[in-house]
Amino acid sequence: MPRCTQHAVSLEILLAGRYNRHMMSLSKLLGPLSFIGLLMLSNVFMTFAWYAHLKNLSSKPWWVAVFVSWAIALIEYGFQVPANRIGIQYFSLGQLKITQEVITLAVFVPFAILYMDEPFKTDYIWAGLCLLGAVYFMFRN
């Protein structure tokens, strides 16, 4: 093989190695981020499935609220199942659960205040601080 071609091949191998390492680092970051993003979407839908009927369907029979909530929950599972399948590649089951709880509170508080017109309570802050303690214990190693 001519020397010029050898150098081109060596450079190509070097660049491919750097590219692969960069992509592996990027995928290590994107995996957890996609897990969190999908879980946030999931929690938005589930929060609406669980509580929005109290405001929007309160004059309807309970079974109407059940079917509407089930329809919303079906969409929610479309985000939750892939989120947890991605998340389990990076986190333990306990870490998945505590992450979900933190996201649930982070989604619920704005929902309660902005959508359901509930007043802000300092109890939300205390609950969040308790969850931070739970995060600490689940993620310490």
| Mean pLDDT (whole number) for 92-101 | 94
Distance CA 86, CA 33 (A): 10
| Mean pLDDT (whole number) for 33-52 | 95
Q: Where are the domains of the chain?
A: 31-139
Integer CA distances (angstroms), 109 to 38, 86, 120, in order: 18, 26, 8
Q: Check residue 116 and report its DSSP letter.
A: S
pLDDT of residue 99 exceeding 80, the answer is: yes
| Mean pLDDT (whole number) for 127-137 | 93
pLDDT of residue 15 exceeding 70, the answer is: no
Distance CA 63, CA 16 (A): 58
